Amino acid sequence: MGRLRSPALSALSALVAALSASLVLVASVRAAAPPDPRLDWWREARFGLFVHWGLYAVPAGEWAGETDFGEWIRSSARIPLAEYDRFRGGFTARDFDPDLWARLARQAGMGYLVITTKHHDGFCLFASTETDFDVLATPCGRDVLRELAQACRREGIRIGWYHSIMDWHHPDYLPRRDWETDRPVADADFARYVAYLKAQLRELLTGFGPIDVLWFDGQWEGTWTDDLGRELYAYVRSLQPDILVNNRVGRGGGDFGLDAAQGPVGDFGTPELHVPPQGLPGVDWETCLTMNRHWGYNRADRDYKSAAELIRTLVDVASKGGNLLLNVGPDAEGRFPSESVERLEAIGRWMEANGEAIRGTTASALPAQDWGRVTQKTAPDGSSTLYLHLFRRPAHGTLTVNGLLNEPDAAYLLADTAPRRSLLTCCSDQALVVELPDAPFDTVATVVALRYRAAPDVAVPPAIAAAAPIFVDALDVAVSSPQADVELRYTLDGTPPTRESALATALVSLRDTATVTVRAFRAGRPVSPPATATFTRVAPRPAAPVAATAPGLDCECREGEFEVLPDFDAGSASPASPASPVAVARAVTTAFELDARPREDRFACRFRGHVRVPADGVYRFFLRSDDGSRLWLGDTLVIDNDGLHSSHEESGWVALAAGLHPLTVAVFERTGGFELDVGWEGPGVPRRRLGADDLVHVAE
């Protein structure tokens, strides 16, 4: 936090940290992930190669006349197991050259490579004593993972294993897909499958030397849980203590980062096929991306992203504090598609000149710039370098960097050859102006380096933090700024603060609804944009009079193909549902159990009852589901988590009086595994699940 002129404000740092664990309404800087020496090399690399290689490369994306399949072809095309097994005869890998793969990764500027040891189809790209459905049962007959790991180490590339938790081949994996008729369910034992999973991981982590990353996937089906994920994470770390494990080892995983409130599972988040608009502040993360439309090899797919688009995506990811894992799908002979090689080589040429602006960088505190992106690197001595990635040449050759308040000690084009020419700079109206030379301009991304002996002075909005956005009687609001030598002034009516506005010498205490607006000043002049947050005073919702209650909740379940929640009261389908759902079962459940659900998927359920609130105050409810869900208190929608998605949590605030309050939770499941978790926190209630002691329903 910056050095604020009033001594009383120094106490805000601890309070802001405490409040931030609950709620930060306006963030002033991108929160950095906590230090962890195990992650140092991964944060330095910023760029890796993903390789999807397996039996799915043999049909090359084609089945029954259709040509748009990939690594999911066994499931998507509903190929019987016996027919799929015959693909083993076509997996020759006769042109597999591990040294070429590793060299292409290194020349592209990548620091690590992650390859599929087993995808969802269950085929193992290594010689396993646990199954004969592996690479030794193909004409390849080579220990391809060992060869690749050794080649990567020769090139200075870290090696990682992708391993699917889901398995469409193993007789004990559950659940089955409803179209499968060739794998009997009667004798399946999921615990036995978990033992198989761990046995194969032991093979992978004890027989190939140091492995740097374990990249799980296929964790979203209903049989997998966060508890199983934490147990597997601990098991993997017991075999290789320094290994990094992605968040898909846990039930949620995927796009949603690491859920610190639930207890993080894994070391880094894994958004897929997109870059989060603001990154994932406070956690390490890695976007995985295909070059074309498929992960596995598809002969017909020539829809490749250009090298320029891929380079700019890499820049975008690094500017938000993340890594990029860029995928290649080799064919059954072990060859990278020529389009993939061309793009790797083009990226490598750009990285040769500009890799310093990617490797070892972090997100910058600078606001978004319309001309490109910004990365930053801080040296152990406190000196800093800002890297300005220009996606287009500014008009008249003058670059304006908004929010940068001090001039650098040196400015130059990163790719400039010796002798390196200095660029002229000056500060003007909360911006730095850089005069660009007439030198050739890289139309993909030209990098301007700004070197500072200390941290750059960046105009960022102050942080405003409070325990909740609503309150009943009073609320303390903490404000802070990372800028040095500033004072914070604020207003409570939403107007921009001036040098005459109230000085934040202590917590801002509210008794009535207010729009708190805060701005940093230095020597009487504003040196930051204003930050604004509204806090609303509300009356607690009155408790509902209930004549007689009984433990548990009423649960009603319906079958249907849903994409959003149906209208239970109307008994009609949702607009996205082709058929009207029919009530098929009702039950009284202890809490949010699905005793009445008619099947494992394609259903919707509604729970109704009352929640017992112990004291007047503001409560926060949490709703995690796979797929969509909603939570109402009375007729007020408190949480909307609807739609098709994997495990995802939303929350909402409400003020409640002590007593019983009508509660409704609706959820639907399409396919892929079900999850429902309802929790709350409030006065005298630490965050926990809503349980049997909290819930009743009206007795008939």
Please give the pLDDT value at position 16: 41
Measuring CA to CA, which residue among 646, 563, 642, 639 is closest to residue 270? 646
Please give the pLDDT value at position 206: 97
Contacts of 301 (CB under 8 A, 6+ apart): 61, 68, 292, 293, 294
Measuring CA to CA, which residue among 292, 220, 246, 252 is closest to residue 112? 246
Please give the pLDDT value at position 13: 42
What pTM was computed for the model? 0.88
Biggest alpha carbon distance in the chain? Answer: 88
Provide the edge-to-edge strand list for the sheet that holds 431-435: 398-402, 431-435, 425-427
Q: Which fold has domain 549-698?
A: Jelly Rolls (2.60.120)
Contacts of 605 (CB under 8 A, 6+ apart): 555, 556, 557, 558, 594, 596, 597, 666, 667, 668
Q: Kindly calculate the radius of gyration of the chain based on its CA atoms and give it in whole angstroms.
A: 28
Q: What is the DSSP secondary structure assignment for residue 10, as one 8-state letter?
A: G
- State yes or no: pLDDT of 24 exceeds 50: no
What are the residue ranges of CATH 2.60.40.1180 in the chain? Answer: 364-452
Please give the pLDDT value at position 236: 98
Pairing, β 213-217 against β 244-245: parallel
Tokens of 628: 């969509």
Contacts of 500 (CB under 8 A, 6+ apart): none
- Rounded-to-integer distance, Cα 70 and Cα 56, Å: 7
Measuring CA to CA, which residue among 539, 378, 347, 581 is closest to residue 444? 347
- State yes or no: pLDDT of 2 exceeds 90: no
Label each residue of 654-668 as H, E or C. Answer: EEECCEEEEEEEEEE
- State yes or no: pLDDT of 574 exceeds 50: no
DSSP 307-321: HHHHHHHHHHHHHTT
Provide the edge-to-edge strand list for the sheet that holds 617-626: 648-656, 617-626, 675-682, 685-689
Number of neighbours of residue 216 by Cβ within 10 angstroms: 28
Map residue 486 onto helix, strand or coil. strand
Contacts of 266 (CB under 8 A, 6+ apart): 216, 229, 233, 245, 246, 247, 248, 249, 250, 253, 258
What percentage of the chain carries pLDDT values higher than 90?
75
Omega prior to 330 cis, within 30 of 0: no
> 53-310 sits in which CATH class?
alpha beta
Contact criterion met (CB below 8 Å) for 205 and 213: no
Q: Which CATH superfamily is domain 364-452 in?
A: Golgi alpha-mannosidase II (2.60.40.1180)
Amino acid sitting at position 511: R
What are the residue ranges of CATH 2.60.120.1560 in the chain? Answer: 549-698
Number of neighbours of residue 663 by Cβ within 10 angstroms: 25
- Rounded-to-integer distance, Cα 517 and Cα 479, Å: 10
Could you tell me if residue 494 is left (phi over 0), alpha (psi between -120 and 50 degrees) or otherwise beta? left
145-183 burial by CB neighbour count: b if 16+ within 10 A, else e?
bebbbbbbeebebbbbbbbbbbbbbbebbbbeeeeeeeb
Give helix then strand counts, H and E, for the chain: 10, 37
Contact criterion met (CB below 8 Å) for 680 and 578: no
- Rounded-to-integer distance, Cα 646 and Cα 354, Å: 37
- State yes or no: pLDDT of 324 exceeds 60: yes
Phi first, then psi: give them for residue 445, nearest 5 degrees. -165, 110
What are the residue ranges of CATH 3.20.20.80 in the chain? Answer: 53-310
Residue 439 binned pLDDT confidence (cut-offs 50, 70, 90):
confident
**Burial class of residue 700 (count of CB atoms within 10 Å of its CB; 0-12, 13-18, 19+):** exposed
Residue 220 binned pLDDT confidence (cut-offs 50, 70, 90):
confident
Measuring CA to CA, which residue among 138, 51, 141 is closest to residue 87? 138
Residue 343 binned pLDDT confidence (cut-offs 50, 70, 90):
very high
What percentage of the chain carries pLDDT values higher than 70?
91
Please give the pLDDT value at position 178: 76
Mean residue pLDDT of the chain comes to 90
- Rounded-to-integer distance, Cα 419 and Cα 421, Å: 6
Contacts of 256 (CB under 8 A, 6+ apart): 247, 269, 647, 648, 649
